[in-house]
Structure 1
């Protein structure tokens, strides 16, 4: 499971890409995590820090990708209510702990 969740450095902070998290949660359409989970819960998510957003091209209209911190990622895993949510929450704790220890730095986004 830890191999499915990649922690990235965004402005020096560990973050998880929303669609990577949604894929680990086995959401049928990972990009829909934005409209079904993140936007409806934006206020609560922002209570744990600013939502880091990036405009991306998806082939059609531009979309907004979210890079979630540890607390935000855990909340999204709780809100998603998928069968794998419990397993994903445990994996998130592990990958963020590994990132803090310098064991699993995989990508660097600015």
Structure 2
């Protein structure tokens, strides 16, 4: 079970899921942009397909998002079969970034933490 929370709920909500029997919870410490959060979670789930632990999968997804270039990101999103409208919207958002690594700043990926297995 994966849950995204804001920092106000960080102590109570993730703990509640663990007490209820969830083996792990992924939670955010602050509010994030939709684009970076959505794609970080997609990459996390892709990583989990490799039968690795949740914390390791999250860490690998964070490193990927931090280092991915605009070109690599567009290539990856094209494989997701999102449809032309989504691809165009993603391209427009990426064009607004000046740096070739648009998600390098920790504000895009560092808020997430894994609790549990």
Q: Structure 1 length as normaliser, TM-score? A: 0.37
Higher helix share: 2
Higher strand share: 1
* Higher Rg of the two aligned structures: 2
